[in-house]
Structure 1
């Protein structure tokens, strides 16, 4: 899962904290993947979050948490979620309802 935008690294750290605090996601393993440090960088920058979601029922809880998180963002954020060769990208600034995030993620990744 990744975020796209100028402040994606900061927002990704906020998203990681959000997901780790969600009690329904206690069985989800969350790992931050760092991009290689570039010239002039003070250290590695978070590039993506990897979530190990088992069983598939937990995907719905992850998707719902992402929708809630996106709904409370003051900045425009785009979320990209990938599972195997399936991928969905959501522009949270265009959301009418945060539940749209969960619905789209589950529909694309789980085929429901």
Structure 2
């Protein structure tokens, strides 16, 4: 017998938290990670869609059902954060949005001078 997911056990409570965060986003609250506005008209699978993020990740003992442990975020920003700290995620998202690479120039692969040829297989 399989165990039910944490959302199946407390679905009504989680939906209530999501609805409250949606209302906060409608009122103008930005993404808690990148600070940019969240467009609620973007459907879920898209990277800039709305999700509820746990400040202390569930993997580290945080509860997805506590109002004080949740905040609105973009799906992309939440994916960057994963199970890391909020401060790390803010720095990493800002770095990626600025286009700064973590790989130093001397270790970055350089393009070859060989022309691209098409293989007709």
Structure with greater strand share of residues:
1
The answer to whether TM tops 0.5 is no
Higher gyration radius (CA):
2
TM bucket by the smaller chain? 0.3 to 0.5
